[in-house]
């Protein structure tokens, strides 16, 4: 997840003022993992911007309460639960899954303890009014910093493991 220095993943109006280096790093990670799981609102935004079409080699899953009758369409699989996304990727032989937001989808994966590592790409910006990385949770999660690296002069990537 790209994140502002004050912890927001987007502005309140859903716009995302991220650097080109950040977008590139995200695309590279999705291509390296080979899959991407996003919430329906993020799908609507990224699809309209044409971002997802650039990732033809990435298996893309959208989580939505209304997947409809055609669960596979236009290069996307639509599923009703996070567990369904996990099972599809397991069946396809993936060892890892890349959960790519937004805030609502992240929250549901945390609630179900289906996240074991986090990548935060901290962008050099304080967002005035924004959307948080996750919504309110009933518990804390402790993190261990595994790696840090600069994506550019101004953007730092933090790689954490969740300590259960």
Q: Residue numbers of the site for ligand NAP (CB under 6 A)?
A: 1-2, 9-10, 14, 16, 38-42, 45, 63-66, 80-82, 100-105, 108, 131
Nearer to ligand NAP, 10 or 151 (CB): 10
Q: How far is the CB of 142 from ligand NAP (least distance, A)?
A: 22
Report whether 138 contacts 17 (CB < 8 A).
Answer: no
CB atoms within 10 A of CB 123: 24
Distances (CA, A) of 93 to 11, 35, 43, 100, 110: 36, 11, 24, 19, 23
Nearer to ligand NAP, 93 or 155 (CB): 155
Q: How far is the CB of 108 from ligand NAP (least distance, A)?
A: 4
* H helix runs in the chain, sequence order: 20-33, 40-49, 82-91, 103-111
Report whether 44 contacts 29 (CB < 8 A).
Answer: no
Q: How far is the CB of 33 from ligand NAP (least distance, A)?
A: 15
Nearer to ligand NAP, 56 or 65 (CB): 65
Q: Residue of minimal CB distance from ligand NAP?
A: 102
Q: How far is the CB of 107 from ligand NAP (least distance, A)?
A: 7
User: Read out DSSP for 97-114?
Assistant: --B---HHHHHHHHHTT-
Nearer to ligand NAP, 93 or 114 (CB): 114
């Amino acid at each position: 997840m790209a994140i502002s220095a004050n912890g927001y993943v987007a502005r309140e109006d859903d716009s995302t003022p991220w650097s080109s280096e950040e977008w590139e790093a995200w695309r590279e990670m999705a291509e390296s993992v080979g899959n991407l799981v996003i919430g329906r609102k993020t799908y609507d935004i990224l699809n309209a911007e044409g971002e997802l079409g650039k990732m033809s080699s990435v298996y893309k899953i959208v989580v939505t309460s209304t997947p409809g009758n055609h669960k596979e369409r236009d290069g996307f699989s639509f599923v009703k639960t996070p567990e369904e996304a996990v099972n599809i990727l397991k069946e396809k032989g993936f060892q890892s899954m890349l959960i790519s937001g937004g805030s609502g989808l992240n929250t549901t994966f945390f609630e179900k303890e289906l996240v074991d590592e986090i990548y935060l790409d901290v962008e050099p910006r304080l967002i005035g009014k924004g959307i948080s990385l996750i919504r309110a949770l009933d518990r804390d999660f402790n993190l261990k910093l595994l790696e840090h690296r600069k994506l550019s002069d101004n953007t730092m990537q933090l790689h954490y493991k969740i300590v259960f």
